[in-house]
A and B are shown apart, each in its own frame.
Chain A
Amino acid sequence: MSSILELMPSVYAGASLALLAVMGSTLVRAILGPTAFDRVMAVNMFGTKTVLLLSLLGFLSGRPDFLDIALVYALVNFLSTIAVLRFFEGRPQVVKQCSTTDVDLDVNHDADPDASGPTTAMEE
């Protein structure tokens, strides 16, 4: 019977390695991401993967009562996403400044802050 339970740590180890790989790819997306929103999405995804990694590490090291930290990570990750959205609220021209590749977004006129609605096309 106990042999089956020995299986679990290796499952945790495999899962955490995979999660590290996913975090790596999210990190690369965060660094390369053309538009600013790509970066926000990458940070959000990075946060959720870190939470999962921590829960796995908690189980791997046999101290599962450290899950408060994982909960705080989720909370803080949500907070920083909302703060970024608040930063972009109603300021489209700021978004262009924050995108790395100076893709020539064909903006015929500079959208004044209050005008909502799509005015530009933004892609690679």
Chain B
Amino acid sequence: MELIIDITLLTFLGLTALAINRIDKLFCIIMLSGIYSLLCASLFVSMDAVDVAFTEAAVGTGIATVLLLSTIGATDTQQRSAPQRPLFALLVVCATGAILVYGTMDMPAFGDPDAPIHHHVAPRYLEMSQQEVGSDNIVTSILSSYRGFDTLGETVVIFTAGLSVVGLIGFRGMQKFGDRQRAAGITQDDMGKHLVLRIVIKMFIPLILLFALYVQFHGDFGPGGGFQAGVIFASGFIFYTLMFGLDAAMRVVSPRTLSYIAALGVLTYGGVGITTLLMGGNFLDYNVLRPDPLQGQHLGIFLIELGVGTTVFSIMVLIFFAFSSRKGLRQ
């Protein structure tokens, strides 16, 4: 049964990818890339990758589609140029594809239980992580404790993305949006006419933020964690901005404070690492945080998930503010 679901989802993915390649209207491609991420996420669920499906859906369909839409909102929705040098590209692509297929010939079959990767490092995570780290969700325990330095790198990558948007577009660019709107005489640049939508969204935003907090602190026992919580929290803010306009949203939280929150998030994560250093353990070794190592692990994971959540939330909202502040430039 699972095989049939896998194969159908994969054929849908192939179909969407071909459609994305053929259609030349940018808006249609963005919609199809939204569907592509949804399909990917359901494929991940059917392959038991629950946290990854969570993140891929929240990021691929949510944030990426919203950012792409605000980009083509500020630029143009027409793809004019025909594909250049298709034959050469087809050659290169087929060559790489052939090498890859040649490479997978020796790989273990799909779902084969005695593949090497299931017998070397992974068994210890599955057996020992409850005694050593004390969280049911093995992925969270690896993410935050065994390979915690990778997650610090991940947080810094998100922080870099936010910094580059701030460096390239700049805070003043975002502030200028307000007076550019007023100059153009558009007083209410929001979806004022949608009364029903406004009430529903006003009702939903607090629930969404509450759900984000649930996901944040539920990371140990079920799918979820800092990154997913940050994205959902940011989608609550994005809902607010879409409904009530960028000016109102910027009055709620200004881009400058968002960059401070992001910096504090990364510093929380790094700070936990440095306190473990000062308390005698290695960098990011949570056992030294509390007398009882298991509690230390819980405290450490809690703090760094908080750091990841704050950083991701503030950077996602910051990038969205920067992109939607370019909206008025085109007219």
Contacts and interface: CB of A to CB of B under 8 A. Distances in A.
Contacts of B61: 47, 73, 76-77, 80
A100 interface: yes
Contacts of A87: 27, 69-70, 72-73
B18 to A, nearest CB: 9
Given A46-B38, A72-B58, A39 B12 contact: no
A97 B77 contact: yes
B238 A68 contact: no
A77 B57 CA distance: 9
A62 to B, nearest CB: 12
Interface string B213-236: 001001000111000100010010
A114 B67 CA distance: 24
A36 B242 CA distance: 19
Contact of B78 (A27, A40, A82, A97): A97
Contact of B42 (A50, A60, A99): A50
Q: In terms of DSSP, what is the predominant structure of the interface of chain A?
A: helix
B50 A69 contact: yes
Contacts of B197: 82, 85
A24 to B, nearest CB: 7
B278 interface: no
Contact of A83 (B8, B201, B218, B238): B238
A11 interface: no
A73 B58 CA distance: 7
A29 B255 CA distance: 40
B188 to A, nearest CB: 11
B66 A80 contact: yes
Contact of B223 (A13, A68, A98): A68
Contact of A17 (B4, B12, B35, B50): B4
A20 interface: yes
Given A57-B45, A72-B232, A66 B50 contact: yes
Interface string B1-43: 1101100110010011001000101111001101100110110
B218 to A, nearest CB: 8
Nearest to B50: A66
Given A57-B45, A85-B191, A20 B5 contact: yes
A82 B41 CA distance: 21
Interface residues of B, number: 60
A57 B46 CA distance: 7
A109 interface: no
Contact of B77 (A77, A79, A98): A98
B302 interface: no
Contacts of B23: 31, 100
A97 B28 CA distance: 10
Nearest to B46: A57
A53 B19 CA distance: 23
Interface string B42-71: 100110001001100110011001100110
Contacts of B27: 36, 39, 87, 94, 97-98
Contacts of A83: 65-66, 69-70, 238, 242
Contacts of B146: none
A116 B35 CA distance: 30
Interface string A54-90: 1001001100011011011101110110111111010
A61 to B, nearest CB: 8
A75 B35 contact: no
B73 A27 contact: no
Contacts of B260: none
Contacts of A84: 31, 69
A69 B222 CA distance: 10
Which A-B residue pairs are the 4 nearest by beta carbons? Answer: A98-B27, A76-B62, A31-B19, A39-B31
Given A30-B31, A50-B38, A72-B228, 14 more contacts: A16-B5, A27-B16, A31-B19, A65-B222, A66-B50, A68-B218, A68-B224, A69-B50, A75-B235, A80-B66, A82-B243, A84-B31, A86-B69, A113-B331
